[in-house]
Amino acid sequence: MSWFQKLLPPKIKRRGEADAKKSVPDGLWHKCPSCQAVLYHADLEKNFSVCPKCSHHHRISARTRLDWLLDSEGRFEIGSEVLSVDTLKFKDQKKYSDRLIEAKKKTDEDDALIVLQGSIHALPVVVAAFEFDFMGGSMGSVVGERFVRGVQVALEQQCPFVCYSASGGARMQEGLLSLMQMAKTSAALTQLSEARLPFISVLTDPTMGGVSASFAFLGDVVIAEPGALIGFAGARVIQQTVRETLPDGFQRAEFLLEHGAIDMIVDRREMRDQLATLITLLTKQDAVAKLEAA
Amino acid sequence: MKVTFLDFEQQVSELENKIEQLRYVQDDSALDISDEIGRLQKKSQSLTKDIYAKLTPWQISQVSRHPQRPYTLDYIQHLFTDFEELHGDRAYADDPAIVGGLARFNGQSVMVIGHQKGRDTKERQYRNFGMPRPEGYRKAMRLMRLAEKFGIPIMTFIDTPGAYPGVGAEERGQSEAIGKNLYVMAELRTPIICTIIGEGGSGGALAIAVGDAMLMLQYATYSVISPEGCASILWKSADKASEAAETLGITATRLKTLGLVDKIISEPLGGAHRDYAAMMQTLKKSLQDTLNQVQSQAPGEMLQARFNRLMSYGKFKEIELN
């Protein structure tokens, strides 16, 4: 089990694992970890993996997310030519190179960030999404480079850049190189600003550490999914440091909204439409319906 | 000030005690034992040299946190004149874990910003062990914008275990404060020279460490996570800190090889805390050289170089896609 999964309450563990533990035919039924309702998997999926009973937002893969968000035509992947190397020959109880192989097997992705060029309601965009199941969505050199290449394409195409975060933070196995990705990704955004192109940051469960403390809060608009865990330091570290009980709902999206840290919370089922509206408003275009009618 | 010796310096410590005792005897004895003292001092020096020639990353980490190591305010006192400390983030509070203000460096106006740790229990608490809260980073950003407005170069001094992990810090947007600094420092239209003087603790260090030149003291460390933190996560035991320090690559020499540090500043024998004056002199010269170098660039050129360097961070391979 990765260190990051260990940090999480068992009930938020990913769907695949939960299914494996129950001796139910693969993915046919699913128990909502929030309200315990037993859901038919196909129904859940039709509902964007949001529980129809309690609106709990289940974690989803980066591909699924991008697939639901983007128009089906005209998608191009950016940065898939960039792959990890184990520069430090990092080894704890396991080698970093072995961890990479495992993560690839588990997710069928070759790193924790996937970037696509495409469109939302025919509005051109570049969208990046973190794959949390790939080493806790940790940000190393590849994630940083793909992010930057995504920004570059947005600049070339003069279109907005959207990023869905889901990450435990920097990838320890790349040492200081991973810390520097915080500076690299944040610096890339200065170019988008200069070109007056919107950057919309969507924080999903969980967005922590080095990802949270770099580009994630630099959005022109910062959105969170309901109930997402978002913060700099993990709850366990804070508890060990301050030795006080944490307030209710601490570091959840609703808590952040209340404290003025984010602009809005958007239900996943509304996300595509909301993003399109925001983009048209920021870029002074007509409403989506009018654009589509034209 | 009596030197505090680290675990791995025990032999030196014993020798120094002996020298101390002999000196005491010397004072009220007719016998001349200065030869003997001289001999022991030489021995102590060569022993220190031997130990410091082969410090492990974990031992270097101990030196970087040495309780007598010079802190930002020590450097400010020795390297600058006319220091005018500026306080507060204008929104919530003044954070004593980050100090900053205007000063003169060899006559030239500069903005100095750095983490500040405390010397004794009371001051350590006051400085929050050098762990800034969001208001500290926001103060730093305010001072940087001020420097930019008046075309004043910025020098930052990095020495923190990390940004403070606390409830209030989270409520007031620790993440946003750090992220915003990274963004601002990437585009700030004035020279920024960063020096890691002690502990470069993760994002809390990086938040004032983006600039045109990265200097690092010989026994300073800079890491994505503390060796203890890394060990407790990956080895499930903080006792493996030494292994973690090794594999994380946190030392100045290692980071220079990786291209993340430009210049290593040599420390006096036994570390900066053994000889403040010598440390200050070496650093002052390097800072002036670096400042001259950065200032010799046209502003546009400087910003482009800073940006290119930020974009160059990272190691990966590229494959041909069919």
CB A30 within 8 Å of CB A15: yes
Q: Which residues of B touch A231 (CB under 8 A)?
A: 170, 174-175
Cβ of A174 within 8 Å of Cβ of B315? The answer is yes
Burial (CB count <10 Å: 0-12, 13-18, 19+), residue A59: buried
Cβ of A214 within 8 Å of Cβ of B167? The answer is no
Is this structure's pTM higher than 0.80?
Answer: yes
Instruction: Assess whether pLDDT exceeds 80 at residue A166.
Output: yes
Cβ of A184 within 8 Å of Cβ of B321? The answer is no
Q: Which of residues 165-204 of A touch B (CB under 8 A)?
A: 170, 172, 174-184, 186-190
Amino acid A240: pLDDT: 85
Cβ of B163 within 8 Å of Cβ of A232? The answer is yes
Assembly ipTM? 0.96
Cβ of B203 within 8 Å of Cβ of A210? The answer is yes
Instruction: Assess whether pLDDT exceeds 50 at residue A21.
Output: no
Task: Note the pLDDT tens digit of each residue in A168-226.
Answer: 999 999 999 999 999 999 999 999 999 999 999 999 999 999 999 999 999 999 999 99
- Classify each residue of B306-315 as buried b or exposed e, where b means 16 or more C-beta atoms within 10 Å of its C-beta: bbebbbebbb
Which band of pLDDT confidence, cut at 50, 70 and 90, is reported for residue A120? very high
Q: Which residues of A touch B173 (CB under 8 A)?
A: 217, 259-261
CB B129 within 8 Å of CB B118: yes
Cβ of A181 within 8 Å of Cβ of B316? The answer is no
Instruction: Assess whether pLDDT exceeds 80 at residue A3.
Output: no
Task: Note the pLDDT tens digit of each residue in B21-61.
Answer: 888 887 776 677 888 889 999 999 999 999 999 999 999 99
Which band of pLDDT confidence, cut at 50, 70 and 90, is reported for residue A243? confident
Cβ of B170 within 8 Å of Cβ of A232? The answer is yes
How crowded is the C-beta side of B44, counted as CA atoms within 13 Å? Answer: 18
Compute how many other C-beta atoms are within 10 angstroms of the C-beta atom of residue A38.
10
Which band of pLDDT confidence, cut at 50, 70 and 90, is reported for residue B101? very high
Question: How far does B145 lie from chain A, in Å, by closest CA?
Answer: 16
Instruction: Assess whether pLDDT exceeds 70 at residue B240.
Output: yes
Q: How far apart are the first and last CA of chain A?
A: 52
Which band of pLDDT confidence, cut at 50, 70 and 90, is reported for residue B162? very high
A30 touches chain B (CB under 8 A): no
Average pLDDT over residues A126-133: 98
Q: Which amino acid is at A220?
A: D
Which is nearest to B167 in space by CA: A226, A233, A253, A254? A233
Which is nearest to A263 in space by CA: A211, A218, A206, A293? A218
Q: Which residues of A touch B227 (CB under 8 A)?
A: none
Amino acid B79: pLDDT: 98
Amino acid A255: pLDDT: 98
Question: How far does A167 lie from chain B, in Å, by closest CA?
Answer: 14
Average pLDDT over residues B170-189: 98
List the single residue in B with minimal CA-CA distance to A191.
Answer: B187
Instruction: Assess whether pLDDT exceeds 80 at residue A150.
Output: yes
Question: How far does A23 lie from chain B, in Å, by closest CA?
Answer: 31
- A55: tokens are 């609106």
Instruction: Assess whether pLDDT exceeds 90 at residue A241.
Output: no
Local structure of B26: helix, strand or coil: helix
List the single residue in B with minimal CA-CA distance to A146.
Answer: B316
Nearest by CB to A184, which of B171, B310, B320?
B310
Q: Which residues of B touch A183 (CB under 8 A)?
A: 182, 185-186, 206, 210, 310, 313
List the single residue in A with minimal CA-CA distance to B236.
Answer: A3
Instruction: Assess whether pLDDT exceeds 60 at residue A1.
Output: no
Cβ of B187 within 8 Å of Cβ of A190? The answer is yes
Q: What is the mean pLDDT of chain B?
A: 95
- B122: tokens are 């009371």
Amino acid A8: pLDDT: 58
Rounded Cα gap, residues B253 and B191, in angstroms: 25
Cβ of A90 within 8 Å of Cβ of B247? The answer is yes
Which is nearest to A140 in space by CA: A126, A130, A152? A130
Nearest by CB to B175, which of A83, A144, A213?
A213
Q: Which residues of B touch A8 (CB under 8 A)?
A: none
Pairing outcome for strands A113-120 and A76-78? antiparallel
Nearest by CB to A215, which of B179, B248, B320?
B179
Average pLDDT over residues A44-69: 95
**Residue ranges of the alpha helices (H) in chain B?**
10-27, 34-53, 57-64, 72-79, 121-126, 134-149, 167-171, 174-187, 202-206, 227-234, 241-248, 252-257, 276-295, 299-312
Cβ of B258 within 8 Å of Cβ of A145? The answer is no
Which is nearest to A147 in space by CA: A189, A102, A179? A189
List the single residue in B with minimal CA-CA distance to A142.
Answer: B316
Q: Which helix (H) or strand (E) holds A115?
A: strand A113-120
Rounded Cα gap, residues B311 and A147, in angstroms: 11
Cβ of A88 within 8 Å of Cβ of B249? The answer is yes
Nearest by CB to B316, which of A83, A187, A190?
A83
Amino acid A2: pLDDT: 59
Interface test with A, best of B221, B310, B315, B316 (most A CBs within 10 A): B316
Scanning the structure block, which residue is given the tokens 């500026």? B86
Which band of pLDDT confidence, cut at 50, 70 and 90, is reported for residue B238? confident
Task: Note the pLDDT tens digit of each residue in A248-263.
Answer: 999 999 999 999 999 9
List the single residue in B with minimal CA-CA distance to A77.
Answer: B321
Nearest by CB to B314, which of A145, A172, A187?
A145
A84 touches chain B (CB under 8 A): yes
Amino acid A19: pLDDT: 43
Nearest by CB to B183, which of A148, A186, A230?
A186
Cβ of A80 within 8 Å of Cβ of B225? The answer is no
Q: Which residues of B touch A90 (CB under 8 A)?
A: 247-248
Backbone angles phi, psi at B109, to 5 degrees: -65, 130
Cβ of A144 within 8 Å of Cβ of B314? The answer is yes
Rounded Cα gap, residues B290 and B286, in angstroms: 6
Task: Note the pLDDT tens digit of each residue in B283-310.
Answer: 999 999 999 999 999 999 999 999 999 9
Average pLDDT over residues B214-242: 93
Question: How far does A128 lie from chain B, in Å, by closest CA?
Answer: 18
Average pLDDT over residues A33-48: 91
Question: How far does B26 lie from chain A, in Å, by closest CA?
Answer: 50
A125 touches chain B (CB under 8 A): no
Average pLDDT over residues B4-31: 87
Cβ of B258 within 8 Å of Cβ of A176? The answer is yes
